[in-house]
Chain A
Amino acid sequence: MSWAWFHRFASPPWVYGFAARWTPWFGGAALLAMLWALYAGLVLAPPDYQQKDAFRIVYIHAPSATLSMAVYTTMAIAAAVGLIWRMKVAHAVAAACAPIGAWFTVATLGTGMLWGKPMWGAYWVWDPRLTSELVLLFLYFGYMGLRAGIEDPVKADKASALLAIVGIVNIPIIHYSVTWWNSLHQAPTRLLGKADMVWPMVWPLLLMFLAFFLFFGTVLLIRLRAELLRRERNASWIREVLA
């Protein structure tokens, strides 16, 4: 199997074209999945025995939370690839991820607060999961702040890449905090196999997860194009692309 297809991903003009071509497909699929999952979650799924209709917040809260962590992980992996193989495109991917992940983290914290108030009686508690998710937001801000604070773009790429990699320890902490500590936040819910939720509640959630991942792909491809344009100052391929 030739490595040619992998090498294409190192070429900014090729990646730009790839991103431009695939954005509408990811976007269309994301929109469809989101609308369908929204309808299924709000209308089709039966109310919960204990939480009644309040449990439906899971359809916006859980995907946001998962994406906030998945985007960071993508960012850290892209950063590592950029450092190890010195690929500019990888650094561009990492840079594109940061604002997306930060927003998802805000959404997670906000929707979580609105779910916490009726369920626990408080908008916020300093329990390990909420605290480490807040720390994740600080990490995103730190990453973006470090990038903005270093003039030399190559140094900015490398330094922020190192930060992203160091901060990856927070992700398992967020995820396992509910099992390691006595946390107010709910323990992980088994969705498949011996599920803790009935299927009519589960499949809209799985669909929403898919929708959010497709959405992340869409937005990443858009921001990646912007990053590549900003970085490739004098390249001739830009002339063709803009025409």
Chain B
Amino acid sequence: MKTGSLDVARLVIARDLRLAFRKPSQLLQPLMFFMIVATLFPLTLTPEMSRLRDAAPGVLWVGALLSSLLALEFLFREDAQDGTLEQFALSGQSLTWMLFAKTCVHWLLTGLPLALSAPVAAVGLGVPAEAMWSVVASVALGGFALSLIGAISAGLTLGARRGGVLLSLLTLPLAVPILVFGADATHRAITGGDIGPPMQLLGAIAVLGVTLAPLAASAAVRIGLE
């Protein structure tokens, strides 16, 4: 009996969520890291809210990026180590689709919580209350695109020594457009401008990512599993 695609996705997502919630502390780590990073900037730059507000988009996005990179390591590593990825690749189901499901879970567990907790960091950076929803929206959408891009570099560095550092090094160049437009959207949200254009560009990148990134990621994983 051939399992349908939706069933496969449901199974992969359910499995990943179950495994993740067995170690809730691991889930909180990227969030804690984000908060710490967001605190470091006011401590080292200036406590003046008006100047922090200018830096807020950058601080939020750099923090979100670094936290996502931390969490990306877990995306494939454990499954690669215990042989699950190999089983996925051999299962006869679409590895691309399964990796896409895993990437969605990664965003649900990392990118989305980061976006939802961004207001807490943003308050400390002088961001006005009216801007909060737009901040959340931009970090959420950008975070999704980041997870997609990160899946490619996570796949590529599976077999590499010091994979963690390499993972960040590889993700960064590919993440630059997301950072640029995401920070622009957040900046416009804070200054009360129109977040439409950068959000649309972020959306376009996300759509492009959805169509191409899982493909590249599955090719990378297959290379790593050989």
Taking a contact as CB atoms closer than 8 A, the residue among B162, B173, B223 that contacts A162 in the complex is: B223
Smallest CB–CB gap between B142 and chain A, Å? 17
Contact B176–A131 (Cβ < 8 Å): yes
Looking at the complex, which of B4-12, B121-129, B152-160 is the stretch in contact with chain A?
Answer: B152-160
Q: Say if the beta carbon of A151 comes within 8 Å of chain B.
A: yes
Contact B176–A163 (Cβ < 8 Å): no
Looking at the complex, which of B79-87, B88-96, B163-171, B186-194 is the stretch in contact with chain A?
Answer: B163-171
Taking a contact as CB atoms closer than 8 A, the residue among B166, B172, B177, B216 that contacts A166 in the complex is: B216
Q: Say if the beta carbon of B20 comes within 8 Å of chain A.
A: no
**Among the interface residues A132, A138, A159, A167, which one has the most CB atoms of the partner chain B within 10 A?**
A159
Residue of B nearest to A150 (CB): B160
Contact B223–A158 (Cβ < 8 Å): yes
Q: Mark A40-82, 1 if CB is under 8 A from B, else 0.
A: 0000000000000000000000000000000000000000000
Residues of chain B lying within 8 A (CB to CB) of residue A240: none
Looking at the complex, which of A6-14, A139-147, A183-191, A230-238 is the stretch in contact with chain B?
Answer: A139-147
**Among the interface residues A141, A154, A158, A173, which one has the most CB atoms of the partner chain B within 10 A?**
A158
Residues of chain A lying within 8 A (CB to CB) of residue B159: 150-152, 155, 159
Q: Say if the beta carbon of B36 comes within 8 Å of chain A.
A: no
Contact A166–B174 (Cβ < 8 Å): yes
Mark out the residues of chain A between 151 and 185 whose CB falls within 8 Å of any chain B CB in the assembled complex.
151-152, 154-155, 158-159, 162-163, 166-167, 170, 173
Q: How far is the CA of A155 from the CA of B161 in the complex (A)?
A: 13
Q: How far is the CA of A141 from the CA of B169 in the complex (A)?
A: 8
Q: Say if the beta carbon of B220 comes within 8 Å of chain A.
A: yes
Contact A149–B174 (Cβ < 8 Å): no
Contact B219–A162 (Cβ < 8 Å): yes
Mark out the residues of chain A between 117 and 145 whose CB falls within 8 Å of any chain B CB in the assembled complex.
131-132, 135-136, 138-139, 141-142, 145
Given A138-B173, A141-B169: A162 touches B160 (CB 8 Å cut-off):
no
Q: Mark B25-62, 1 if CB is under 8 A from A, else 0.
A: 00000000000000000000000000000000000000
Residues of chain A lying within 8 A (CB to CB) of residue B176: 131-132, 135
Q: Say if the beta carbon of B224 comes within 8 Å of chain A.
A: yes
Taking a contact as CB atoms closer than 8 A, the residue among A150, A152, A167 that contacts B173 in the complex is: A167
Smallest CB–CB gap between A178 and chain B, Å? 16
Q: How far is the CA of A142 from the CA of B169 in the complex (A)?
A: 6
Smallest CB–CB gap between B202 and chain A, Å? 16
Contact A159–B223 (Cβ < 8 Å): yes
Residues of chain A lying within 8 A (CB to CB) of residue B169: 138, 141-142, 145
Taking a contact as CB atoms closer than 8 A, the residue among B161, B173, B219 that contacts A142 in the complex is: B173
Smallest CB–CB gap between A144 and chain B, Å? 10
Smallest CB–CB gap between B208 and chain A, Å? 9
Residues of chain B lying within 8 A (CB to CB) of residue A139: 173
Q: How far is the CA of A141 from the CA of B171 in the complex (A)?
A: 12
Residues of chain B lying within 8 A (CB to CB) of residue A151: 159, 161
Q: How far is the CA of A159 from the CA of B173 in the complex (A)?
A: 17
Taking a contact as CB atoms closer than 8 A, the residue among A131, A132, A149, A162 that contacts B161 in the complex is: A149
Residues of chain A lying within 8 A (CB to CB) of residue B223: 155, 158-159, 162
Smallest CB–CB gap between B92 and chain A, Å? 22
Residues of chain A lying within 8 A (CB to CB) of residue B166: 142, 145-146, 149
Known: A151-B159, A155-B224, A159-B224. 16 other contacts (CB 8 A): A138-B172, A138-B173, A141-B169, A142-B166, A149-B157, A149-B166, A150-B161, A152-B159, A158-B223, A159-B159, A162-B216, A162-B219, A162-B220, A166-B152, A167-B173, A173-B177
